[in-house]
A and B are shown apart, each in its own frame.
Chain A
């Protein structure tokens, strides 16, 4: 209770488990084998990360999936709480991927080339990518 006014502190604590569905499952499973998978719409060519099983623009199922190289370019970055978040344009994808980024091979600036650094132990989670590092040159 604050000095002058009363309040009650309470928690809302509820466990969730989000069903990934076929396309996102394929993406997460790809991470266990160090692969970044995108979906490709046969009509408009949109390459989604995480992949889509249905294209909302063309209103048709998506059945083609591709493995990306994993490299990309930094679209933007922002550091807070001792960590730097990067918005990454992956080569061969249209969606951007947000992840942690580290300068390493060069400074963090828009356009810097980046590549994923993989965790030794992987469990079909986005955290299987430890972070993206700026590549040299």
Chain B
């Protein structure tokens, strides 16, 4: 079943610790110009753009203004979502489903290296009772990690296995930032990110951008095997991080249910899952909510290669920036189903799931289900 919106192209930059050679419009022009070249669609034919970026990460009020020209927004309809890029993708699809546009360009960018990451994440916290204590995102993620390990009865070895698996997958992904065949001991003894998470259990600071082109069915016809259909979309908003059980994601379970219902599939039908987990524990926690495995099996799941079907790209833990990480998952799911994933191509997949989250400990959750076109 298709929603009537196709992805016809996806381009990412290499993810790097510091892209000192590019300002924002150059960073975004790199992916948009390559996307137009690969799809053969001139900017003159694109009237609709949805971007994703964050004012605090870019150090600029109205961060989208820096890229309005390079996304082709002059005298056209560009809107900026102030949340993970997967939300920009869903909004782009809505614009096409509304019959308002034939194409929509979706672009997310972030240069974490330009700001002081710690201070930036501090302003997500309650200004009355939390900010004065110096709580920052790594602290909240670590508190969640320990709560989850306690609830699931697992130790840091299991988290190290998740990290090991992802960094090995990344060895076949030329765009990945942190890549390597790390030993479990190496991961466990790496410098502390935020106890109990070591630096190899959490995404490093990274710069990057990602762009996708969406098309309506009529335009999609001209793209042959490069067409991948969006067949399900779901989103949900959880309670604030101190008003919920951090060891589970009720909002993700609901977002997934909505996406599965729309796509007419279940968790068992998913051939590939790109889960946006910037910390190792998140992959296991979110996989539970997606119905990919049960809590009692997470240790076994982490130890097994799981058929390589989870995060073949290496995932966000290898270094995808805030706001981009979720759209990167959609791009990677698209590359798999259009047989364009190169060295990390998983053969024979026809249904892929892409997940994105944002806010403290994943307060907003989104799921997109993609299906290979039968062409």
Contact = CB atoms under 8 A, between A and B. Distances in A.
A127 to B, nearest CB: 6
* Chain A contact residues: helix, strand, loop or mixed: strand
Contact of B20 (A2, A18, A78, A85): A2
B243 interface: yes
A49 B130 CA distance: 11
B20 A4 contact: yes
A75 B147 contact: yes
Interface string B218-254: 0000000000000000000000001100100000000
A76 B147 CA distance: 5
A126 B145 CA distance: 25
A96 B133 CA distance: 15
A77 interface: yes
Contacts of B192: 80
B129 interface: yes
A41 interface: no
Interface in B205-229: none
Interface in B126-150: 126-130, 132-135, 138-140, 142-147, 150
A77 B147 CA distance: 8
Interface size class of B (residues with CB under 8 A): 20 to 34
Given A80-B138, A87-B143, A126 B195 contact: no
A78 B135 contact: no
Contacts of B146: 76-78, 110
Which of B20, B128, B142, B192 gathers the greatest number of chain A CB atoms within 10 Å? B128
A76 B242 contact: no
Contacts of A80: 138-139, 142, 192, 194-195
Nearest to A3: B20
Contacts of B144: 76
Contacts of A28: 128
B59 interface: yes
A20 B277 CA distance: 34
A7 B135 contact: no
A18 B142 CA distance: 27
B268 interface: no
A110 B246 CA distance: 14
Contacts of A85: 133, 135, 139, 143
Contacts of A24: 128-129
A77 B126 CA distance: 18
A23 B274 CA distance: 42
A112 B145 CA distance: 18
B21 interface: yes
Contact of B135 (A4, A50, A79, A98): A98
A12 interface: yes
Nearest to A12: B59
A63 interface: no
B143 A77 contact: yes
B204 interface: no
Interface in A104-137: 110, 125-127
Interface string A1-25: 0101101001010001010100010
A18 B128 contact: yes
Contacts of A127: 132-133
B21 A76 contact: no
A81 B146 CA distance: 17
B145 to A, nearest CB: 8
B196 interface: yes
A71 interface: no
A103 interface: no
Contacts of A50: 126, 128-129
A31 to B, nearest CB: 10
Contacts of A35: none
Nearest to A2: B20
5 contacts: A10-B59, A75-B147, A76-B143, A80-B194, A100-B133
Interface of B: 20-21, 59, 126-130, 132-135, 138-140, 142-147, 150, 192, 194-196, 242-243, 246
Given A77-B143, A78-B146, A100-B133, 14 more contacts: A12-B59, A28-B128, A48-B243, A75-B147, A78-B194, A78-B196, A80-B139, A81-B134, A87-B246, A94-B243, A98-B129, A98-B130, A110-B150, A127-B133
